[in-house]
């Protein structure tokens, strides 16, 4: 069973080799004429102000957390979907209960305004 993954690893190795080779060729062939201005951070021609290592909107963290919650739900759905036919009505009702618990959470998140961007 596991040996069906061997080609994937071979392809992965070839993909990495392609990426590294392209980078290396670029490094060898391309010119190297660094200057102070060229190596400074691009800010539409202005003098760069401070670094980009600063705080950013908490919304992005919120999205990441919500993603983890709902993605785990999706992961639970996969094995259920594969064996859906053999589980029959009982399996469907079980999943219905699971989904409704999650949908309550989803409704709560929505009402709390966590899905709003402004």
Partner 1 sequence: MDLLEPIIKIAVVLGALLTASAIVVLFDRKFSAYIQNRYGPNRVGPGGWMQSIADVVKLVMKEDIVPKAANRFVHDLAPMISITVALTTFAVIPFGDTIPLFGKEYNLIIADVNVGILYILAMTGMGVYGLTLAGWSSNNKYSLFGGLRSSAQLISYELSMGLSLIGVIMIAGTLQIDDIVRSQTGYWFGWIPQWNVISQPIGFITFFVASFAETNRLPFDLPEAEPELVGGYHTEYSGMKFGLFFLSEYANMIVSSALITALFLGGWHLPFAETWGLDPLVLALLKIGAFMFKMFIIISFYVVIRWTLPRFRYDQLMNLGWKVMLPVSIANVLATGVVMLWLTR
Q: Which residues bind partner 1 (CB under 8 A)?
A: 1, 3-8, 10-12, 14-16, 18-20, 22-23, 25-27, 29-34, 38-44, 48, 51-53, 56, 59-60, 63-64, 66-67, 70-71, 74, 77-78, 81-85, 88-89, 92, 95-96, 99, 103, 106, 110, 115-118
Output 22 or 108, the one with its CB closest to partner 1.
Answer: 22
Instruction: Find, among 75, 82, 80, the residue nearest to 91 by Cα.
Output: 80
Minimum distance from CB of 108 to partner 1 (Å)? 14
Supply the DSSP symbol for 42.
Answer: P
How far lies 112's CA from each of 47, 64, 116, in Å? 41, 17, 9
Minimum distance from CB of 2 to partner 1 (Å)? 9
Minimum distance from CB of 89 to partner 1 (Å)? 6
Minimum distance from CB of 27 to partner 1 (Å)? 6
- Rounded CA separation 16/11 (Å): 9
- Rounded CA separation 12/18 (Å): 10
Half-sphere exposure of 50 (CA within 13 A, CB side): 4
């Amino acid at each position: 069973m596991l040996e069906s993954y061997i080609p994937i690893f071979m392809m992965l190795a070839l993909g990495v080799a392609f990426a590294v080779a392209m980078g290396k060729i670029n490094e060898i062939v391309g010119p190297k004429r660094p200057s102070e201005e060229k190596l400074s951070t691009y800010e539409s021609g202005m003098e760069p102000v401070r670094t980009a290592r600063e705080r950013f909107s908490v919304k992005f963290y919120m999205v990441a957390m919500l993603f983890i919650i709902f993605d785990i739900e999706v992961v639970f759905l996969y094995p259920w979907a594969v064996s859906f036919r053999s589980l029959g009505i009982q399996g469907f009702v079980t999943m219905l209960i699971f989904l409704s618990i999650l949908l309550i959470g989803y409704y709560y998140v929505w009402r709390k305004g966590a899905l709003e961007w402004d």
